Amino acid sequence: RKEVEQDPGPFNVPEGATVAFNCTYSNSASQSFFWYRQDCRKEPKLLMSVYSSGNEDGRFTAQLNRASQYISLLIRDSKLSDSATYLCVVTPRGSTLGRLYFGRGTQLTVWP
Amino acid sequence: DTAVSQTPKYLVTQMGNDKSIKCEQNLGHDTMYWYKQDSKKFLKIMFSYNNKELIINETVPNRFSPKSPDKAHLNLHINSLELGDSAVYFCASSRTLGGSYNEQFFGPGTRLTVL
């Protein structure tokens, strides 16, 4: 079983739509959680960290459910520029410094 | 003002050849990484160096050898290239503070094609 599982999509939504992605992780002792964004043929970039109490950054809301071992990302009022692949990332507790486990990503296309 | 740079951006070579990819960061970070992203888009760590010391060495063939001449550089040398080595290789760097994780910044990637 992979450390991090994501629905690869693709998700195709119109501008202005609200879209949500989930991912699950296998290691219950996981410590840190992130969403990265990767544009086509580009490098991954940190979108936001995910905190236990949930956190929001503009149109983006991240939630963590430790009991069910899943992480979610909600995007409100989708923009064309949100089209990208969204990578769920987890760091296990006690892991070697800097070790990240990436999901395979969920592809989002926002159409006009 | 490029933060993490890699050369070359594209690399096309024949099976059996030896090639190197170079990575440099000007962010003052003390930890650098090599990742491989295969055709299925999984991004998997290969190696990590902290202050020039190897700290993560995933199960990769011995044909892959990283070298860190200083904290700002991490190179990847690949011997006897195979078809399965075709992938995008990303370099990344981060700063460690008190043993805690900090954001990793990725280079633009090197797209390796082995014919």
A8, A32, A97 ranked by CB distance to B50: nearest: A97
Contacts with B103 from chain A: Cβ below 8 Å: 46
Determine the straight-line distance between the first and last CA of chain B, rounded to whole angstroms.
34
Query: Does the beta-carbon distance from A98 to B108 stay under 8 Å?
Result: no
Query: Does the beta-carbon distance from B104 to A87 stay under 8 Å?
Result: no
Query: Does the beta-carbon distance from B48 to A32 stay under 8 Å?
Result: no
Would the pLDDT of A97 be above 70? no
Q: What is the pLDDT of residues A70-84, one digit of tens each?
A: 999 999 999 999 999
Query: Does the beta-carbon distance from B101 to A45 stay under 8 Å?
Result: no
DSSP string, A25-64: ES-TTEEEEEEEEE-TTS-EEEEEEE-TT-EEETTEEEEE
Q: What is the pLDDT of residues A34-84, one digit of tens each?
A: 999 999 999 999 999 998 888 999 999 999 999 999 999 999 999 999 999
CB neighbour class for B59 (10 Å; exposed up to 12, middle 13-18, buried from 19) = exposed
B103–chain A nearest CA distance, Å: 7
Cis peptide bond upstream of A44, omega within 30: no
Angle CA(A87)–CA(B22)–CA(A84) in degrees, nearest 5? 20
Distance CA B51, CA B38 (A): 28
